[in-house]
């Protein structure tokens, strides 16, 4: 399975650097990458972008992302998945969780779900 990650703008760029260093073949996009939504893009627009580009969203947003996803699904839309990062995990632990998810997940395993790390 090929999982591609899109980091929400509230996720530290260091995670993208660590993911890319650990697995250079993994696709990891951040705010400001060509073709990615710009800073300040509302969450509903980010979800539509992730749906259209087949990216799992990585976020720290525990409060508003669940209602945004519920609204998105009520519109008949879908997302490949949303992973909420765990502040109690080190960057290394987070990277290993995300690499494992990218390598070992089944097709569609996280579709329309919010999952919290560790998986």
SS3 sequence, the chain? Answer: CCCEEEECCCCCHHHHHHHHHHCCCCEEECCCCCCCCCCCCCHHHHHHHHHHHCCEEEECCCCCHHHHHHHHHHCCCCCCCEEECCCCCCHHHHHHHHHHHHHHCCCCCCCCCEEECCC
Q: Determine how β-strand 56-59 pairs with β-strand 114-116.
A: unpaired
**pLDDT for residue 32:** 82
Structure tokens at 53: 């580009």
Closest alpha carbon to 71 in 46, 36, 54, 39: 46
Give residue for tokens 């502040």: 87
Residues of the chain with pLDDT under 50: none
Environment class of 51 (CB within 10 Å of its CB; exposed 0-12, middle 13-18, buried 19+)? middle
Instruction: Give the number of other Cβ atoms within 10 Å of residue 114's Cβ.
Output: 19
On whether the pTM is more than 0.75, the answer is yes
**pLDDT for residue 44:** 96
**pLDDT for residue 26:** 95
Q: Determine how β-strand 82-84 pairs with β-strand 56-59.
A: parallel
């Amino acid at each position: 399975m090929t999982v591609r990650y899109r980091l929400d703008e509230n996720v530290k760029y260091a995670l993208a650097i660590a993911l890319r260093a650990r697995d250079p073949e993994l696709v990891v996009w951040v705010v400001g990458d060509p073709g990615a939504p710009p800073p300040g893009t509302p969450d509903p627009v980010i979800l539509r972008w992730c749906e259209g580009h087949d990216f799992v969203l990585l976020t720290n947003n525990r409060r508003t992302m669940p209602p945004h996803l519920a609204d998105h699904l009520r519109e008949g839309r879908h997302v490949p998945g949303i992973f909420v990062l765990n502040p109690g995990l080190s960057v290394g632990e987070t990277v290993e969780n995300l690499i494992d998810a990218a390598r070992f997940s089944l097709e569609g395993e996280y579709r329309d779900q919010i999952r919290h790390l560790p998986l």
